[in-house]
Copies of this chain bind each other. A is one copy, B any other.
């Protein structure tokens, strides 16, 4: 089974259309694709039925969180993460690296790996490249990620160089450990390099040389200035083999996705549509809005009149505002559902525009559309 097939290339931009074939996906998954984040084995506030109904066939799980709770050995006993959470589609797990490095006060890094304390109970644990892959084998996702060192932002050039070079050595250990096991899982390497052009270029070249079936660009976090994300992608992509899927980790806003697709990215994941949904923020075709605003008190129409999702078809902005004001669970549910529907529709529109070879015009139109209400 070929993991990835390119089906379209934009003549004006770097945008590409493709098909991703994964063991647990019944159908090839069209790219560019957005993966909802299911940190602890649930895309927050959604059922698996709803995630599938929205058209998503590939979701993300977090190795660090699942390793701590309920534990990868329990998930192995259940028959893997797909079975444990009753998800009929494909999955990707991260390596746990990003979470472990975020623990700052609670971790100690050596060449061997990272010793860390659980944020839940303070218990001591150790992740190495081999251990991360071992845990990800137990979880059994279709795509697994190499254990990388994620330098914080901001980070000096020297510290970024050291982290990036360690990431390369760790990638070699991950691929060696993975190759020795019999598993249908695809291990992706991660290119780092921080905010330094030559380090991004070197890292992309190194990871490309390791011949993993897909390549991720890491170290671009939510909250950084969007220019940094665009720069990191722009400095890395030229060195990535065109025939392999490219995954920009942790990105992003709808505008970020439009930019990065234009630079040749195929896969994305981000907590924004789910996390902001729980805050009352709706992504709409007019930009982001917060439903708690008093302007929605008597707005008996849908939150987004241009949206065809089940929430916009049935419930009013005034009702959703009421649910938020009362802190009702249904508020988080309906907003998350709508936001994921918005992302699913955006990705479908992106793929159509690429197929019609009008991606750049589409990108400009959509950026202008988003600009509408956000400034209001």
Q: Report how far A319 CA is from B48 CA in the complex, Å.
A: 12
Interface size of A as a range: 35 or more
Given A40-B322, A45-B333, A70-B318, 20 other A-B residues pairs in contact with their CB atoms under 8 A: A41-B319, A44-B328, A45-B329, A46-B330, A47-B330, A47-B333, A69-B322, A70-B321, A70-B322, A70-B325, A74-B297, A78-B300, A78-B316, A79-B300, A83-B300, A84-B316, A84-B319, A85-B319, A329-B329, A333-B333
The answer, yes or no, to whether A177 is at the interface (CB within 8 Å) is no
Closest Cβ neighbor of A323 among chain B residues: B42
Residues of chain B within 8 A of A298, CB atoms compared = 74, 77
A328 near B42: Cβ-Cβ < 8 Å: yes
In the complex, A300 Cα to B85 Cα: how many Å?
10
Check A334 for interface membership: any CB of B closer than 8 A.
Answer: yes
Q: Given A298-B74, A325-B70, A318 and B84 touching (CB < 8 A)?
A: yes
CA distance in complex: A58, B268 (Å):
43
Q: Which of A69, A318, A334 has the most CB of B within 10 A?
A: A318
Residues of chain B within 8 A of A86, CB atoms compared = 314-316, 319
Contacts of A316 in B (CB 8 A): 78, 84, 86
Asked if A310 is at the interface of the complex by the 8 Å CB criterion, the answer is yes
Q: Which residues of A are interface residues toward B (Cβ below 8 A)?
A: 40-42, 44-49, 69-70, 74, 77-79, 83-86, 297-298, 300, 310, 314-316, 318-319, 321-323, 325-326, 328-330, 332-334
Which of B74, B79, B330 makes the CB contact (< 8 A) with A42?
Answer: B330
Bound-state CA distance A69–B321 (Å) is 11
Residue of B with least CB distance to A313: B86
CB distance from A274 to the nearest CB of B (A): 10
Are A334 and B78 touching (Cβ within 8 A)? no
Bound-state Cα–Cα, A347 to B319, Å: 30
CA separation between A333 and B334, bound complex, in Å?
Answer: 13
